[in-house]
Structure 1
């Protein structure tokens, strides 16, 4: 069983900056996706909406009949619906930047980090500098990613510091065998002009 289900938004964000290797580095061998997600990615590549990338490292799992039936009843896109159904049925985590999918996942008690959480994980692990992460984030935003922040950090959900600075990161999400993924902020709670404060690699808990 894969711990993490990656939807189309995650794959397309890292495809747009030609760094699927970083996504692989962050999620390790504990990630997978679904047939509908790969169909959406391949359709995007065919229409030249998404750069072609090598996703051969990412397993594509087959849904059970019960999971297919559950996905059919989810009011989301096919990719998000399949990932959500599998995450719920198998006790996994959904990685998504789709607002509706994130909201429904939280309602169902499913952990749902996203692109910002992946970038923060890479920074905390020393694989990227803050400047490198911000450069990647800017590239994703330029291709349509609706990021709630303009830097690879997140604002405190309970206390927003002076404009332009951040004081804390949100709590991490633990996976038994993969790297720790940091939760993203809720889009509605974070102003768009936030920037990260250099915290020396410490993840402060709420």
Structure 2
């Protein structure tokens, strides 16, 4: 059977001075730090390639921050960015709002807290995992067609869809405490496929040196 690795790359830091939950809103660009993160990731993949790895296929969410994160890697590896809407950010009722205790106490939001295990305020975790893993399997297939056994694909996506996909791949329950997600800015969640089956999951942070002081916004 063929072994292919699909790296799920979270985008870099976003310029978000108002601290809103930007979700699927357009035109949220990377910050200066976020652009530096994207360059560090590109350097990471260039080093892997120089060591004999074969990153041959690059996919990104249609959102601006994902496309901008993918661009340095595309340039470094000479790859086209393929846009895949299946790996977009999760839907969220609170999109565009500042999510704080004062906002959450408003009665108009209460119906969205009926089932936090789904969650009822946004796209179901299961739906996110399904679309992400479907896209990952398609990326695996395309990478194998291009690079053969040992090829690698890169998918630039968003924290919650990546985390949902990882927990599903590891056979864990999908509902969780958002504070415990292991999916920092510009991190890699790497899925190793043997044929169409995921046989290993690894996590790394190529831009870890830039994480201290980076902005964090409540996720979906």
Same fold, TM-score > 0.5, yes or no? no
TM-score bracket relative to the smaller structure = 0.3 to 0.5
Give the strand-richer structure, 1 or 2: 2
Whose relative contact order is higher, 1 or 2, with alpha carbons under 8 Å and at least 6 apart?
Answer: 2
Give the TM-score of the pair, scaled to structure 2: 0.32
Give the TM-score of the pair, scaled to structure 1: 0.34
